[in-house]
Amino acid sequence: MFAKPYRKLLFFSLLLTGFIVIASLAQPFIIKVAIDSYIKMNDYQGMMYLGIIYFLLILISSICTYFQNNTLQFTGQYVIYDFRQAVFKHFSVMQMDFFRKNPIGRLVTRITHDVEALNQLYSQVIVNLVKEVLILIGIIALMLYMSVKLTLICFLVIPIIAIVTFYFKRVLRDTQRKLRSILSSLLSYLAENLSGMSVIQLFARERKQLDRFNELNEEHYRAGMRQTVINSIFNPSIGLFGNISLALLVWYGGRSVVDETITFGTVYAFTHYVRQFFEPLRGLADRFNQIQAALASAERIFETLETKPTIVNPVQPKELPEKVKGDIVFNHVWFAYKNEEWVLKDVHFRINQGETVGIVGATGAGKSSIIQLINRFYDNQKGIISLDGINIKNVLLNDLRRHIGIIQQDAFIFSGTVFDNIRLNHNAVSNEEIIKAAKAVNIDSFFSMLPQGYNTMLGEEGTVLSAGQKQLLSFLRAMIADNDVLILDEATANIDTESEQAVQSALREMSKNRTTIIIAHRLSTIQQADKIIVLDKGRIVEMGNHQQLLKNQMVYYDLCQNQNKGKTLKI
């Protein structure tokens, strides 16, 4: 499917290749004719015509080469652009599970290295391959036409070259394969270590990590050196055989000229063709590796593109209204990330329009998994989840997600200003509206005190926000998006009391008349909630408001007691 748009360009390049090959093959032959037919006869006019033909050939060949180079470069750029676009677009519709299974380093390699290798295939390998084969065939045909004997003499060394080439290239191929595999490990290791650098430093593992890196780096170095050494032996040996061939030619050809069995022009043309012959031969041996590498990359890219997303839009989607009420029902939902290792077991609850619901439970109980399901980051295996009475699997993903706002524990910050980060893709929202929203929930001061206020650059090279500031920013994102359902994944990290209070009051403000789900780590956050769902090992073990649950003196009561050690619980 991808080759189609490039077919015309490729065909044009091949056409030009034909002209270039003919021109380069014809040049020595024209000189031969000049020597044998015109110089000998002192035919000035004939020589002039030949000179003009020679000049035109060089001119046409140069023009063709110019257009061919450009066409190939364009093709290459199209290939890179299209494939990068396609791969990135594909990544953006993949489910979260895909990113968990594929290390980031590997995915980055797809978009960079593999796409580059494909570019090589289209912009270099195919055309050069055709060119080299045509030149070889052309040379052999011309040589045979001029003198069969001389051709056979020149080609005495060909079988040896074939064996040497075959042997070297096999060794080289193995080395290159090893080199690629080490490079891939090196990249994955690098990506993992760079993102986990804080943990490495915290646990003083720098030495250990460095040792492993050195090991991989050294392996890569050794494989790279091996490749260089092999190449440095291979290339001169082919050159050597080329020269042997030339020596044979001078010896036998010279004698034949003296004997007048072969013309001087023929020997002259042969010396050119022999030299010309070994160039494409060397190139051809490389093509094999390039094709292999490109095919391996193409295979990886297509494999990636063919990996179908598992979370997909329904064939006949139902439309959610512009504004949903926010009734959420989990109807006997079972969910496992893997096989039948159930993380949620027969979870059954209803959240009514405008309610604030807290979800609590020990770590690993399945709280976050519930959120992943509401958003359809994952699909449940059994049971039905519905929003306003519509099964969420029957709704377009975008339609569903635009109604649900999530305030995450650790909001992801993109490179850009505070304004950009709050606005995200709601381009119609003005700066003034953002400031107004921040003022409405009393968190404006947190942003206006940054070095350039809301215009402060964040991200890789910008200011780093604190955990509290990030959460407040996440709040504003949700406010601007104005989703009908709000989910708060409460921060486990301790944010300072001032930010905490700001978060709490902002939350109270935002949850008014809006279905709100809070994953609570600090139980104090949800004391006022209409309903609290208590999860234990994936099952709902209790449900009710704070007072009712305390009275039950069961799991929730224990959780509260654990969190309030030393304090007396008010029932």
Ligand X SMILES: Nc1ncnc2c1ncn2[C@@H]1O[C@H](COP(=O)(O)OP(=O)(O)OP(=O)(O)O)[C@@H](O)[C@H]1O
Pairing type for strands 531-536 and 404-407 reads unpaired
Indicate the residue among 274 and 520 with the shorter CB distance to ligand X: 520
By CB under 6 A, residue 302 contacts ligand X: no
239 binds ligand X (CB under 6 A): no
Is residue 540 part of the contact set for ligand X (CB under 6 A)?
Answer: no
Angle between helices 264-306 and 126-146 (to 10 degrees): 160
- Round to whole Å and give the CA distance between 311 and 461: 34
Cβ closest to ligand X, residue 155 vs residue 342: 342
Which residue in 51, 236, 321, 364 binds ligand X (CB under 6 A)? 364
Instruction: Examine residue 339 and tell whether it contacts ligand X (CB under 6 A).
Output: no
By CB under 6 A, tell whether 376 contacts ligand X.
Answer: no
Binder of ligand X out of 367, 376, 423, 531 (CB under 6 A): 367
Looking at beta carbons only, is 367 or 423 nearer to ligand X?
367
Give the residue ranges of DSSP H helices in 444-496.
444-448, 467-481
Indicate which single residue of 81, 145, 337, 414 sits in contact with ligand X (rule: CB under 6 A): 337
# binding residues, ligand X (CB under 6 A): 12
Per rule CB under 6 A, is residue 380 in the interface with ligand X?
no
C-alpha distances (whole Å) from 508 to each of 117, 162, 275, 289, 527 are 54, 80, 83, 64, 12
Cα 269 to Cα 35: distance, rounded to the nearest angstrom: 10
As a residue count, the chain comes to: 571
CB of 500 to ligand X, least distance (A): 18
According to the binding rule CB under 6 A, does residue 251 interact with ligand X?
no
CB atoms within 10 A of CB 425: 7
Closer residue to ligand X (CB): 277 or 335 = 335
The span of 52-60, 367-375, 469-477, 554-562 binding ligand X (CB under 6 A) equals 367-375
Exactly one of 4, 42, 92, 100 binds ligand X (CB under 6 A); that residue is 100
Q: Does 343 bind ligand X (CB under 6 A)?
A: yes
The nearer residue to ligand X, 111 or 535, going by C-beta atoms, is 535
Least spacing, CB of residue 333 vs ligand X, in Å:
13
> Considering beta carbons, is residue 182 or 373 the nearer one to ligand X?
373
365 binds ligand X (CB under 6 A): yes
Binding of ligand X by 366 (CB under 6 A):
yes
Under the binding rule (CB under 6 A), the answer on residue 87 touching ligand X is no
Q: Which is nearer to ligand X, 154 or 371 (CB)?
A: 371
Q: Judged by CB, which is closer to ligand X: 166, or 337?
A: 337
Q: Does 368 bind ligand X (CB under 6 A)?
A: yes
Question: Which residue, 219 or 536, has its beta carbon nearer to ligand X?
Answer: 536
Strands (E), 247-378: 328-336, 342-351, 356-361
Rg (alpha carbons) of the chain, rounded to whole number? 36
Q: Which stretch binds ligand X (CB under 6 A): 49-57, 60-68, 244-252, 336-344?
A: 336-344
Interacting stretch for ligand X, rule CB under 6 A, among 11-19, 26-34, 158-166, 365-373? 365-373
The set of residues, in sequence order, having a beta carbon less than 8 Å from that of 296 and lying 6+ positions away, is 117, 180
The DSSP 8-state label assigned to residue 318 in this structure reads B
| Segment 1 to 30, residues that bind ligand X, using CB under 6 A | none
CA distances from 359 to 229, 408, 490, 508 (A): 64, 15, 10, 17
- Residue with tokens 């809301």, as numbered in its chain: 454
Closest distance of CB 100 from ligand X, Å: 5
User: Looking at residue 376, what DSSP letter applies?
Assistant: T
* Residue 288, token pair as written in the block: 């094999």
Spell out the long-range contacts of 11-14 with Cβ–Cβ below 8 A and sequence spacing 24 or more. 12/71, 13/68, 13/71, 13/72, 13/75, 13/127, 14/127, 14/130
361 binds ligand X (CB under 6 A): yes
- Written as six digits, the tokens of 117 are 């290798």
Asked if 256 and 262 count as a contact pair (C-beta separation under 8 A), the reply is yes
Binding site for ligand X (CB under 6 A): 100, 337-338, 343, 361, 363-369
